[in-house]
Amino acid sequence: MTIIALILSIILSTGSLFYGFHEQSLDAVSRWVLILGIAWLVSQWFKWNWFSSLALFASIVFAAIGLWTGVFFGWMAAGAVFALFAWDMSDFRQRLRFIPHDDDARGMERRHIARLSLLTLLGLVLLSAASLLQFKFTFEWGVFLVIVTLIGLTQLVDWFKKQ
């Protein structure tokens, strides 16, 4: 079950990004997206679990490039969301290795996929709402976001220091 969900999410993620770039005739970028998708699938075959983090980061970079260059928001957002799904599934698959046959592996898989699917769905709904509402980017909103970002970055630096 996990492996099917993982493969599907990789295909959906890279497929969304590929289609978005292809629609805008950015074939050079779409080729790289395709290469990323194939490499991600191959890495799962060879159980290179570290590759998923790299692939998620690359997917975000591609999505950012797409949004910058004016590719349709929906495809880029879907690409990023499914990349997150695939990244999580890859890690979950790694954790599942420790479940012997007598443990409740199927139950854990079912619960995890259901939980993640719900989060993905909610994320997509919020993204759709954001794209439909098209909030106006005011100065106050910008200041608020800067403050939130700075607080978050401070937290991050703090975490890194503790590490």
Q: CA 1 to CA 112: how far, in whole Å?
A: 11
Q: Are 76 and 130 in contact (CB under 8 A)?
A: no
Q: Quick one: 4 or 151, whose CB is closer to another protein?
A: 151
Asked if 60 interacts with another protein (CB under 8 A), we say yes
Q: Are 78 and 15 in contact (CB under 8 A)?
A: no
Asked if 33 interacts with another protein (CB under 8 A), we say no
Site track for another protein across 139-158, x = CB under 8 A: ---x--xx-xx--xx-xx--
Interface positions, 92-121, toward another protein (CB under 8 A): 92, 95-96, 98-100, 102-104, 107-108, 111-112, 115-116, 119-120
Q: Are 79 and 16 in contact (CB under 8 A)?
A: yes
Q: Are 88 and 61 in contact (CB under 8 A)?
A: no
Q: CA 163 to CA 22: how far, in whole Å?
A: 42
Instruction: Kindly list the distances between the CA atom of residue 110 and the CA atoms of 22, 82, 104, 118, in Å, as whole numbers in the listed order.
Output: 35, 18, 10, 12
Residues that bind another protein (CB under 8 A): 53, 56-57, 60, 63-64, 67-68, 73, 76-77, 80-81, 84, 88, 91-92, 95-96, 98-100, 102-104, 107-108, 111-112, 115-116, 119-120, 122-124, 126-127, 130-131, 134-135, 137, 142, 145-146, 148-149, 152-153, 155-156, 159-160, 163
